[in-house]
Amino acid sequence: MAAPTGEREVAESCVEWVSMEMVEAYCRRLHPTKPELAGRRIEAIGYQVGLQLAERYTKERPRFTDHLEAIKFICKDFWVEIFKKQVDNLKTNHRGVFVLQDNQFRWLTHISLDSPLYNGDRVTLETSLSNNAVMAARAAGQYLYFPCGLIRGALTNLGVPCDVSAEVANLPACSFIIRIKA
Amino acid sequence: MIACVAVVGQQNNPLFIESFTEGEDELKFHYIVHCSLDVIQEKVSNPKKTGSAMNETFLGLLYPTEDYKVYGYLTNTRVKFLLVTTDQDVRDIDVRNFFRRFHAAYVDAVSNPFHVPGKRIISKAFTERVGAIVKSFGAPTT
């Protein structure tokens, strides 16, 4: 029987719960009145983790030749290591802005929407559904601070200084916008 | 016999430097490591002239002085590892193996949440691991 490689493993649910609890702690307990500050703190944690993960996942690889190679690495190997899938779509305007789109972002798949109040009227059902979706999209933004930090940390360590922001269109699809600093 | 190993960060700041010979002047190794950084810079900017591949991590022999040989390795994150050895007949494969294990130890040390990126590595576990790798350097492989 083949022996395991000796690497220790952690249940994925632990990672998801820690990240959810981190958002909870920073946004509701520590800085309830300053969501921006909470977001920046979480992003800073993600930045350091991204730095360290970039070291680990580029260990065996030859060096990257340009920014595009580094971004492709993020979309493929880095995403696969962390989220077990590749990024679904990569767009660029060739002027230093890249959009990474993930149609099934792993850490957002377990967010559920409230069932809408239905009092028999179809019109109100539809509006309340779409209201729910909009509110959910806004709330889900908090859970994306950490992944933004991850991407920013990894790219900075690979020599690509940048800014990263995220948008949620409909759960669980989201996109990350990377702006390379000149 | 390995004389010294060093880790130099992205801004050419020293992160870790350890010498393994007693009685030698430590400052001399600092100086040798510093000079080798210039050679690394040259190799990275002129790949065709110096013959090494553009994106190889292992840079090979950098700087032979009369007593020592210096080997270099550049990671994807622009961190440089340097190995100063007194052996006269060092096998290429031995040095590559050394750097592979050293890289693994470095990644583990940097993943420490208490390590501040860009500052010196002060982990005792890292120092011990490096000591073990250095001891087993050059051991005959079957």
The answer to whether A56 contacts B107, with C-beta atoms less than 8 Å apart, is yes
Q: Is the ipTM of this complex over 0.90?
A: no
- Average pLDDT per block of 10 residues along chain A, 182 residues long: 62 87 88 86 92 88 82 89 89 90 86 69 73 76 90 90 88 88 78
How many Cβ atoms from other residues are within 10 Å of residue B109's Cβ? 21
Summarize pLDDT for A87-103 with one digit per residue, the tens.
Answer: 999 999 888 899 999 98
Check the CA dihedral A53-A21-A113-A12 and report its sign.
Answer: positive
Which residue among A52, A61, A159 sits closest to B110, beta carbon to beta carbon? A52
| Domain regions of chain A by residue span | 12-180
Q: Residue A168: its pLDDT value, please?
A: 86
- Span A12-180: which CATH code? 3.30.1380.20
Quick check: A175 and A141 in contact, CB under 8 A? no
Q: Residue B117: its pLDDT value, please?
A: 84
The answer to whether A63 contacts B57, with C-beta atoms less than 8 Å apart, is yes
Give pLDDT tens digits along chain B (142 positions).
Answer: 788 888 998 888 888 888 887 766 778 888 888 888 888 888 877 765 554 555 677 888 887 877 788 888 888 888 889 888 887 778 888 888 888 899 999 999 998 888 888 888 888 899 999 999 888 886 554 4
| Residues in A touching B113 (Cβ below 8 Å) | 48
Q: What average pLDDT does the structure give for chain B?
A: 82
Distance separating alpha carbons of residues A147 and A33, to the nearest angstrom: 23
The angle that helices A145-157 and A12-24 make with each other, rounded to 10 degrees, is: 110
CATH pick for B2-136 out of 3.40.50.150, 3.30.450.70, 3.40.50.720, 3.40.50.2300: 3.30.450.70
Selected for mutation to probe chain A from B76, B99, B110, B115 (highest A CB count within 10 Å) is B76
The answer to whether A59 contacts B107, with C-beta atoms less than 8 Å apart, is yes
Q: Residue A3: its pLDDT value, please?
A: 42
Task: For residue B129, give the H/E element and its range.
Answer: helix B124-135
| Domain regions of chain B by residue span | 2-136
The nearest alpha carbon in chain B to A70 belongs to B76
Q: How far is B109 from chain A (nearest CA, A)?
A: 10
Rounded to two decimals, what is the model's pTM?
A: 0.84
Q: Would you state the structure tokens that stand for residue A3, as one six-digit string? A: 């022996």
Q: How far is B20 from chain A (nearest CA, A)?
A: 26
